[in-house]
Structure 1
Amino acid sequence: MSQFSDNGGRAVPSQRLSRLWHIGRATTDLAVGVGARGLWDMARTRGASGQRIRLSPAATQRFTDRLARMRGAVMKMGQMMSMDGADVFTPEAAAIMASLRERAEPMPLSQLAQVLEREWGSDWNKGFRRFDFTPIAAASIGQVHRAETRDGRQLALKIQFPGVRESIDSDIDNLGFLARTLGMVPKGADPRPLLEEARRQLHQEADYQAEAEALEAYRTLIGDDPAFLVPAVHRDLSTNRVLAMDYIEGVSIDRLSENQFSRQERDRVSSALTDLTLRELFEFQLAQTDPNFGNYFYQPESGRVVLLDFGATARIAPSLVTGFRRLAAAGMADEVPAMHQAIVDLGYLSADAPRQNVDALTELMRLSGEMLRTEGLYDFGSSDLFERIYQRGRELYLDGAFSELPDPSSLFLHRKFVGTFMLCRRLRARIDFRAMMARYL
């Protein structure tokens, strides 16, 4: 068994006042880095067409370091801000912020010991032949350790940061205050339903027993699909704050973009993951809504994708399934009136919304449906669709066209859709998306 020694990590701030202080410091770093005029432009104005917010590398590093140290809901916000694609920040700043998708500071061993003793008892180490105290991964809610039990099981142990669950409510309240203060909420929109959905999902992510149940349900749905592998849960070592599952070897999914992997392999894996996203919506009615690339491993030897991290798994209401099916069918047929009706049915607009908002949002949805109207392979590697959607969406947002917010659960589904397509873009994949969607309509 590895020796228990200090790893130099900094403690997770777990008290409300301590976390509020860190949020204040992070906001100050961001504001200073952008500058008063830049912050005003980011929050209130359109600025020059396509111009990105300039944030100095030093200020960006301080901002991301602060969020990485806090973990929890605040780090989740930073990860969402850093999603790959048409960022509002310069490429230099975006590259630094992207590190939030792959790292969080590990907790010091003194905190780790307290968590393990609380969950498993003071003699917990007697059940292990080996326990690696250096984590193999650390994210916003917890960190992952590799271990081998006395009976020979190879495990990945997801261990929750102390205080993260208790800080969710205060973090969401503080983030809501900052969003309203900085003008990051569409004019006339009420952000409270979305914040409440974020609060609910984060509490769910922090409940490892709920994640174990979701993982087992998803493993049953996947069955013996040769394209995917889902680790098994080990219930005897799983608690509300520790999740024990199979340790499975693999490489990060975005490594497929490297030259040693062929175009055919990239296309095959991207098609499988895109089809899985559609199956989640139209067949499973159960979706893993966190599209972080770190949630997928690839096994070059078997060609299978390992699916990890089911903390953000959500049931999908039948009404949403019906609504998205109608929207996809209208988009494939390029029927604008049917598209408008589907948008209203999904709650993106009310039936009596101003005509200019109806036309603008329908136009944006039609633009988003470009892949549905493309016969044959859609080439993500040469497409600038995401930049066009982002630019047009930002213009409409700043013009106040998004004064209504749909069912919050549908927004988290959009997060999954965008994440899947961003992965296809990263892998420069070619997919017959139209034919794939047709199977579900």
Structure 2
Amino acid sequence: MFTFMISQSYQICLDTFLFCEELINFYGHKNNGLFLLIASFVWFYTGFPIDKVAMLDQETRNYVGCKLLELTIKELFVFRFMQTDPNWSNFLFDEPTRKFNLIDFGAARDFPKRFVDDYLRMVVACANKDRAGVLEMSRRLGFLTGEEPEVMLDAHVQAAFIVGVPFAKPGGHDFRANNITHSVSNLGATMLKHRLTPPPDEVYSLHRKLSGAFLACIKIGAVVPCREMLFKVYEQYNFSDDRPEVLSSTG
């Protein structure tokens, strides 16, 4: 029932641009938040893979990029349930209807509310280049122990700011001029050498999906108002704890 309701949420909340398969059954382990969904295959799917959108006009590329990132943000911060496969060939884009056909809703997981609360604060801190906020949320989430040397903290914060670049400024972020993955990889050796604890389990699939959304936007050359999307969710978000806010949505 839980997973069926999530599948309904995809259809109800995103009905203007997303079509999902009909859910038949699911298998999962609530303790680790992993689910395998069994869905019917709809043979009348139409459209073409997302990477082919790069051959279309700029307005259509921007539209597709916006919807891919909107879906990713809503999966985490609204549904708290994510289709974790970062392969965007799971979607077909139907140009005449401007809808996406999700043809593989197989690997999915949910996220604890407390984790999502602090992860949203973390993303906003990255967007605002708030070093203190990034470090505080990183400790809460388990990225850092509090015992790391300064060189590790500097590399961690720099990587966070790079990932936050699409959300850093109002207006459309131009993914055509983006080099996020290369910039982060340059800091990898320092973080690998000085990291004292592995990242929390939840982030592995989450970061693959987020990086997949970024790479899809880069591939198709989209211009996306990322900051506006993020802060629309942030300003409406219902935090479940009474921790003091360390972040600001201004800037």
1:222 and 2:10 correspond: yes
What amino acid maps onto 2:198 in structure 1? L
Residue 176 of structure 2 aligns to a residue in which SS? Answer: coil
Which of 365, 369, 373 does residue 168 from structure 2 map onto? 373
Mapping for residues 17-96 of structure 1, pairs under 5 Å: none
Greater relative CO (CA pairs within 8 A, separation 6+): 2
Distance in 2, Cα, partners of 1:285 & 1:357: 30
The aligned residue for residue 404 of structure 1 is 197
Q: Is the 8 A contact 1:233 1:246 kept in 2?
A: no
Distance in 1, Cα, partners of 2:124 & 2:181: 21
Distance in 1, Cα, partners of 2:186 & 2:191: 10
How far the C-alpha of 1:392 sits from its partner, in A, is 2.1
Q: Is the 8 A contact 2:175 2:218 kept in 1?
A: yes
1:19-74 CA-partner distances (Å, limit 9, x unpaired): xxxxxxxxxxxxxxxxxxxxxxxxxxxxxxxxxxxxxxxxxxxxxxxxxxxxxxxx
Distance in 2, Cα, partners of 1:290 & 1:328: 21
Distance in 2, Cα, partners of 1:363 & 1:322: 22
Which of 244, 254, 257 does residue 40 from structure 2 map onto? 244
The aligned residue for residue 232 of structure 1 is 22
Q: Is the 8 A contact 2:175 2:221 kept in 1?
A: yes
Q: 1:401 to 1:277 in 2, by over 3 A?
A: same
1:210-260 CA-partner distances (Å, limit 9, x unpaired): xx984x44430023421111122467xxxx9985332222211111112xx
Distance in 1, Cα, partners of 2:38 & 2:20: 18
Distance in 1, Cα, partners of 2:105 & 2:130: 36
Distance in 2, Cα, partners of 1:344 & 1:241: 33
Distance in 2, Cα, partners of 1:241 & 1:345: 31
Uncovered stretches (5+) of structure 1, i.e. residues with no partner:
1-211
Mapping for residues 305-324 of structure 1, pairs under 5 Å: 305-324=100-119
The aligned residue for residue 54 of structure 2 is 257
Q: 1:227 to 1:435 in 2, by over 3 A?
A: same
Residue 93 of structure 2 aligns to a residue in which SS? Answer: strand
1:60-113 CA-partner distances (Å, limit 9, x unpaired): xxxxxxxxxxxxxxxxxxxxxxxxxxxxxxxxxxxxxxxxxxxxxxxxxxxxxx
Q: Is the 8 A contact 2:47 2:92 kept in 1?
A: yes
| Structure 1 runs (4+) greater than 3 angstroms displaced | 216-219, 240-244
Distance in 2, Cα, partners of 1:241 & 1:415: 19
The aligned residue for residue 109 of structure 1 is none
1:415 and 2:208 correspond: yes
The aligned residue for residue 337 of structure 1 is 132
The aligned residue for residue 158 of structure 1 is none
Mapping for residues 36-435 of structure 1, pairs under 5 Å: 214=3, 216-224=4-12, 225-233=15-23, 244-247=40-43, 248-258=45-55, 261-393=56-188, 395-398=189-192, 400-435=193-228
How far the C-alpha of 1:347 sits from its partner, in A, is 0.8
Q: Is the 8 A contact 1:234 1:245 kept in 2?
A: no
1:320-359 CA-partner distances (Å, limit 9, x unpaired): 2111111122223322111110111111111223333222
Distance in 2, Cα, partners of 1:435 & 1:326: 15
Distance in 1, Cα, partners of 2:107 & 2:208: 11
Equivalenced residues, count: 221
Distance in 2, Cα, partners of 1:380 & 1:329: 19
Greater Rg by CA: 1
Distance in 1, Cα, partners of 2:7 & 2:39: 15
Q: Is the 8 A contact 1:229 1:307 kept in 2?
A: yes
Q: 1:338 to 1:242 in 2, by over 3 A?
A: closer
The aligned residue for residue 29 of structure 2 is none
Uncovered stretches (5+) of structure 2, i.e. residues with no partner:
26-35, 235-251
Residue 381 of structure 1 aligns to a residue in which SS? Answer: helix
Measured on the aligned residues, the alpha-carbon RMSD in Å equals: 2.2
Residue 352 of structure 1 aligns to a residue in which SS? Answer: coil
Residue 78 of structure 2 aligns to a residue in which SS? Answer: helix
Q: 1:434 to 1:243 in 2, by over 3 A?
A: closer
Q: Is the 8 A contact 1:372 1:434 kept in 2?
A: yes
Q: Is the 8 A contact 2:122 2:138 kept in 1?
A: yes
How far the C-alpha of 1:287 sits from its partner, in A, is 0.4
Q: TM-score, normalised by structure 1?
A: 0.47
What amino acid maps onto 2:222 in structure 1? A
The aligned residue for residue 70 of structure 1 is none
Q: Is the 8 A contact 1:320 1:410 kept in 2?
A: no
